[in-house]
Amino acid sequence: MRPYLTWPDKRLQMAAAEVEAVTPETHAIWDEMIAAMDAMPGVGLAAVQLGVMQRLAVVDASEGRGQAVRMANPVILHASAQMRTHEEGSPNLPGVWGKLARPRAVTVGFLNAEGVAEERDFVGLWATSVQHQIDHLDGKMFFDHLSRTKRAMLIKKALKGMR
């Protein structure tokens, strides 16, 4: 399995490339991503976190796991006005978390595992996770949503813990 990129790797700050078509290689990357997500344990992963610069993401916020949604080129089509606050973290900057408010529900368009365009509604932790993964695909980390002061404190704490 590929290692997680460690912040401040520049690839974590770059937008990933669109996926032309879902191929056997795409499925192999998704399988690797699901294994990495389950090993974390986490509820989502974007390909860029493993250094694969393609717009691929997986999310699985189910109770028993094994219900991962595979997405290529995910895009938020609609977001609810109601917000949900959740502690977010990333294996790319381990050991630190930030409290973020994101829309409680989103409708996402993406190519599914069969390569077919799909729209799906995500609510609660599922919605938080998919928004977090799309941020990664756009070159953003969760702490980019925090104030400059909170972001600086969080990064300093993480870097101290990585030594």
143-162 pLDDT tens trace: 999 999 999 999 898 888 77
9-37 pLDDT tens trace: 999 999 999 999 999 999 999 999 999 99
Distances in whole angstroms, Cα of residue 156 to Cα of each of 33, 48, 145, 150, 161:
28, 23, 16, 10, 9
Query: Would you say the pTM of this structure is higher than 0.85?
Result: yes
Query: d(Cα 131, Cα 117) in Å, to the nearest integer?
Result: 18
Q: Chain-centre distance of CA 151, in angstroms?
A: 18
32-52 pLDDT tens trace: 999 999 998 889 999 999 999
Q: Chain-centre distance of CA 60, in angstroms?
A: 11
